[in-house]
Amino acid sequence: MPASPLSSDADLISATRRVERKLGFFAHLGIYLLVNAGLIALNLLQTHKPFWAAGPLLGWGIGLLFHGLKVFMQLPPAWKQGMIEQELKNHRQ
């Protein structure tokens, strides 16, 4: 059974959005690696200082972790729809 033009357009939009989110994450990851490599190098050049580069590395790393989780660890659509239906049922009672 061929898909209707509306569903194929919606599928294309959805797929495009997912690809853009993944590319955004990889750009974020690349910038994180470059900047933090520079911070670590700068920190190591200052041998008499404590390892202060760990702060930005950890803080930004937590943000990057959550960005990755949001992009790659999504609930299946059926679970989301089931949860919405359950909430609607609970709200009506």
pLDDT, tens digit (0-9, with 9 covering 90-100), for 31-73: 999 999 999 999 999 877 799 999 999 999 999 999 999 999 8
Q: How many domains does the chain have?
A: 1
Contacts of 40 (CB under 8 A, 6+ apart): 53, 57
Domain limits at 18? 5-92
pLDDT for the residue 19: 94
Return the amino acid letter for 36: N
- Say whether pLDDT at 3 is over 70: no
Q: Is the pLDDT of residue 82 over 80?
A: yes
Count of residues making up the chain: 93
pTM summary value: 0.71
The single residue listed with the structure tokens 């049922």 is: 89
pLDDT tens column, 7-40: 688 888 888 999 999 999 999 999 999 999 999 9
As separate numbers, helices (DSSP H) first and strands (DSSP E) second, the chain gives: 3, 0
